[in-house]
Amino acid sequence: MRFSLSPKDTSFYDLFSDQSQHLVKGSALLTQVLGADTSAREDLARQMKDAEHAADESTHEIMRKVNSSFITPFDREDIYSLASNLDDCMDHMESAVDRIVLYQIGQLPAGVASQVEVLVRMSELTAEAMPRLRSMKDLAEYWIEINRLENQGDQVYRRLLAELFDGDLKATAILKLKDVVEGLEHAIDAFETVAHTVESIAVKES
Amino acid sequence: MRFSLSPKDTSFYDLFSDQSQHLVKGSALLTQVLGADTSAREDLARQMKDAEHAADESTHEIMRKVNSSFITPFDREDIYSLASNLDDCMDHMESAVDRIVLYQIGQLPAGVASQVEVLVRMSELTAEAMPRLRSMKDLAEYWIEINRLENQGDQVYRRLLAELFDGDLKATAILKLKDVVEGLEHAIDAFETVAHTVESIAVKES
Amino acid sequence: MRFSLSPKDTSFYDLFSDQSQHLVKGSALLTQVLGADTSAREDLARQMKDAEHAADESTHEIMRKVNSSFITPFDREDIYSLASNLDDCMDHMESAVDRIVLYQIGQLPAGVASQVEVLVRMSELTAEAMPRLRSMKDLAEYWIEINRLENQGDQVYRRLLAELFDGDLKATAILKLKDVVEGLEHAIDAFETVAHTVESIAVKES
């Protein structure tokens, strides 16, 4: 059984919700990058960098709050892990966009759009789940769906690599695309890590 | 000092033993894949997929049990970590088999057989160690031997990459084999993570 | 509030300081490797292997001490994590040196020297921070600077890959250098993981 929380502690939930909103923004920018031309991509990469800085700010705010709070709604180290894990999702998405621009990649294979769709859905689900940390209710459906999406992303990723290896691109073009595709796969895995942390918090607090 | 456990709690040990038996099965299938031809490999990949689903089922059973148990033999989050880590071993082995089939790889280099031998030994040692969680006795020899095997696997892995890079395969063939070889290295690392988790549990409970 | 510690427990701080000194040694050897010719590199790789064994010994000493101590200065599992994370830094640096020798790489790109400078600075900062675990004071400046260096290392890493992909090296030469560069990036990430663990310990103990 958990005690009802004072208003002060409550705002950890708001901070996690804020942090997850940056992920929704990040995955939306990723979607735009796919359809954009080179110069538009540079502008989107700058917006992505800004979104990543904003997410960093949210993360640090949570860390400062953990340090200065006498009572926390769940274990300090779990708050810390969850904030770090959410931050990792953003870092991997930003990194993928940066590489697309840096390597001057043109048209991306169709499978990349499927990866990004998985990321959009994962970020929405994560943003919807964060406020439910307050009651610790209805979280199982969130992590089950994230696990399902991660599996789907994994299938897409394997097939994308097979396509790249058997296509007629030259080796350096394959390496560039592989780097982007792996970056997106890491982002997908990072969302699954967030879900694992949420599951592990729920297991402890139940 | 730890309290003697009721029969209900005891069965966590049985569940971890079950989960580790799937890894023994998985590493045996991996061994068969090496010597098989293309069509036999597709059948083995299906069996591997089934073994992975069975391992998933064991993992979820442990998670459900953690959620519904009032008393657990050791910390809830450690049970959770151990179950997840064991699951990762299976995922990486299944992924390696899937890639061998997906990339239509023919003959695999000799070093791959050495990697698979390490995995077979690791899965046997892990399956033998799981029942010993009950007494927390004689576990050090398990994690020391796993660490030794991981080192050995690492040497094999580095030499395999050097061979691939200096051979006369074309770039895409190298990339395909590198992906399989890395997948097996990740599986080896995942077994070491299991051993680390067991060591960390033993450190806490001692 | 934390209790004052008995002399016996105090020595955990000395052990962590010892362990971090091996990292200073390792990053200095890495610097020497960059400027050395092939035969000198083989000798340096042997020294690196020795340094890694010495670091392993320090790690095991900490683990044994955790196992045999009734009271520890902070949570057993955190001591365990910190020792493992420090060990990972050494493993990745050693692995990078081994690969440079194994792949018989000649001149390394300039960006690699920038990566190694980051590692030298990170190892110095880590060695300076370890004794401050005793008071838990002035640690924030350490992890903030490590995070900044990790970001800097990440920029260098991305630009290095872009250069490799757009240069006129043949595919296998690119793959070899990519493997070394990734190894150094993993070492940089491992130092950041150490800083995260220190931050998470400080958060709990504050």
DSSP states of chain A: --PPPPHHHHHHHHHHHHHHHHHHHHHHHHHHHHH--HHHHHHHHHHHHHHHHHHHHHHHHHHHHHHH-SS-SS-HHHHHHHHHHHHHHHHHHHHHHHHHHHTT--SPPHHHHHHHHHHHHHHHHHHHHGGGGTTT-S-HHHHHHHHHHHHHHHHHHHHHHHHHHHSS--HHHHHHHHHHHHHHHHHHHHHHHHHHHHHHHHHHH-
Q: Do the Cβ atoms of C102 and B171 come within 8 Å?
A: no
Pick A102's closest partner by Cβ from C162, C200, C204: C162
- Confidence at residue C206, expressed as pLDDT on a 0 to 100 scale: 67
Chain B: give the shortest CA distance to residue A50, in Å: 34
Residue A158 to residue B84, Cβ atoms within 8 A: no
Q: Per-residue pLDDT tens for B66-104?
A: 878 878 888 888 898 999 999 999 999 999 999 999 999
Q: Is C174's CB within 8 Å of A179's CB?
A: no
State the pLDDT at residue B206.
67
In this prediction, residue A206 carries a pLDDT of: 67
- The class that CATH gives domain A7-205 is mainly alpha
pLDDT tens for chain A, 206 residues long, are 344 444 444 588 999 999 999 999 999 999 999 999 999 999 999 999 999 999 999 998 998 888 788 788 888 888 989 999 999 999 999 999 999 999 999 999 999 999 999 999 999 999 999 999 999 989 999 999 999 999 999 999 999 999 999 999 999 999 999 999 999 999 999 999 999 999 888 877 76
Residue A1: its pLDDT value, please? Answer: 37
What's residue C2's pLDDT? 43
Size of interface A-B (CB pairs under 8 A): 37
Residue labelled with tokens 């995922």:
B91
- Measured CA to CA, the distance from residue C190 to residue C194 in angstroms comes to 6
What is the distance in angstroms between the Cα of A118 and the nearest Cα belonging to chain B? 20
Rounded Cα distance between B104 and A166, Å, is 10
pLDDT, position C74: 83
Pick from B154, B162, B196: which is nearest to C84 by CB?
Answer: B196
Nearest C-alpha of chain B: how many angstroms from C107? 17
Domain ranges of chain B: 9-205
Contact list in B for residue C95 (CB cut-off 8 A) is: 154, 158
Percent of chain B with pLDDT over 90: 78
Looking at per-residue confidence, does C38 or C191 come out higher?
C191
Judge: B102–A162 Cβ closer than 8 Å, yes or no. yes
Chain A contact partners (≥3 CB pairs within 8 A):
B, C
Q: Quote the ipTM score.
A: 0.85
The mean pLDDT value of chain B amounts to 91
* In the predicted structure, residue C68 carries a pLDDT above the cut 90: no
pLDDT given for residue C73 in this prediction: 85
Cβ separation A203–B102 shorter than 8 A: no
Chain mean position to CA A58: 14
Q: Which of B129, B176, B167, B134 is nearest to B149 (CA)?
A: B129
The pLDDT assigned to C75 comes to: 84
pLDDT, residue B178, reads 97
Q: Write down the pLDDT at residue C8.
A: 47
Lowest mean pLDDT among A183-187, B156-160, C58-62: C58-62
Q: What is the pLDDT of residue C5?
A: 46
- pLDDT of residue B10 exceeding 60, the answer is no
pLDDT 10s digits, C160-174: 999 999 999 999 999
For chain A, list residues whose CB is within 8 angstroms of any CB belonging to chain C.
63, 66-67, 76-77, 80-81, 84, 95, 98-99, 102-103, 171-172, 175-176, 179
pLDDT of residue C4: 43
User: How many B×C Cβ pairs under 8 Å?
Assistant: 38
Cβ contact (<8 Å) for C63 and B199? Answer: yes
Q: Which CATH number fits domain C9-205: 2.30.30.140, 3.30.530.20, 1.20.58.220, 3.40.50.10540?
A: 1.20.58.220
- Tokens at B4, concatenated: 């003697």
Highest mean pLDDT among A70-74, B35-39, B60-64, B190-194: B190-194
